[in-house]
Amino acid sequence: MFRERVSEDIYVFTSEMYAQATAGAVVSAEGAVVIDTLAFPVETQEIKDFLEKQVGTTVRYVINTHYHADHTNGNCFFTHAQVIGHKLCRELMDTVGRSGLERAQAEASDLAGVKVVLPTILLDEAPIYLHLGKKTLQIFPTPGHTADSVSVLFKEDRILFAGDMMMPVPYIVDGDPDDMVRSLQALPSMGLENVVQGHGEVILRGEIDEAVKSAVKYLDIARRKVDQAVKRRKPRESLREISIEACGKPRIALSGVVTKLHTANLLSLYDRMTK
């Protein structure tokens, strides 16, 4: 796991085991808040050790940006924390989250000890606020990657933890492309210093507009290409020939995982258009 400080008392942790997934933390005199936990227990344990042993604080809250296992598997290790998430996040973790974890644990021994811990402080359409020391955290819905996606804004620092709304390639298989575009387009006017992506490197102030534009453009091109294929009655499998570069994104990000995400995007867009 890789750790960096993005602002006074705000940290970002990046997984070296799973698709550069990120987690975050803010430390105050009143305790700490963790934003997302990592897929594998060893890495979440490293975050916990850093905060509790090195910094010497207690984690009071864990915020889940959405229900996917690579962001929630570590909830169970923060035994004294209350978990915050979207109402739908709780429902999805309680159903598909539980069955997914069972399947994953049957395959991977390094997930031993992971238990589903559901959010108990919930938001729906309206934002909720958390005050901790001198920091104000605004937690608000940003659907698109999934229906339960939320982002966390540090109001004073202007740092946004965007969850998987922001990734090197937008991933909408479990979500909705129109919602995604709406969520993304709200970012440029927010006056942000940094955007912490759900996967990949932190986006700096001068790069945010371009990152949003590029994500929206990718979705637009991908949709047009799939639409064309559907109109020409091309078989579903032919979509695999549409490269990620042809949709305006490089194939190198997240150690190449983006090409798999891209193909899955195309196939899911096809299924949406043909059902």
What are the residues binding Zn ion (CB under 5 A)?
Answer: 70, 164, 198
**Residue with Cβ nearer Zn ion (71 or 135):** 71
Shortest approach of Zn ion to residue 227 CB, angstroms? 27
Shortest approach of Zn ion to residue 14 CB, angstroms? 12
Shortest approach of Zn ion to residue 211 CB, angstroms? 17
**Residue with Cβ nearer Zn ion (15 or 194):** 15
Shortest approach of Zn ion to residue 82 CB, angstroms? 22
**Residue with Cβ nearer Zn ion (18 or 140):** 18
Shortest approach of Zn ion to residue 180 CB, angstroms? 14
Shortest approach of Zn ion to residue 144 CB, angstroms? 13
**Residue with Cβ nearer Zn ion (66 or 90):** 66
**Residue indicated by tokens 């227990």:** 41
CB 1 within 8 A of CB 38: yes
Per residue, what are the HEC states of the chain?
CEEEEEECCEEEEECCCCCCEEEEEEEECCEEEEECCCCCHHHHHHHHHHHHHHHCCCEEEEECCCCCHHHHHHHHHCCCCEEEEEHHHHHHHHHHHHHHHHHHHHHCHHHCCCCCCCCCEEECCCCEEEEECCEEEEEEECCCCCCCCEEEEECCCCEEECHHHCCCCCCCCCCCHHHHHHHHHCCHHHCCCEEECCECCCEEHHHHHHHHHHHHHHHHHHHHHHHHHHHCCCCHHHHHHCCCHHHCCCCCHHHHHHHHHHHHHHHHHHHHHHC
- What b/e sequence results for 166-189 when a residue is b if at least 16 CB atoms lie within 10 Å of its CB, and e otherwise? bbbbbbbebbbbebbbebbeebee
**Residue with Cβ nearer Zn ion (170 or 177):** 170
**Residue with Cβ nearer Zn ion (175 or 177):** 175
Shortest approach of Zn ion to residue 241 CB, angstroms? 27
**Residue with Cβ nearer Zn ion (70 or 148):** 70
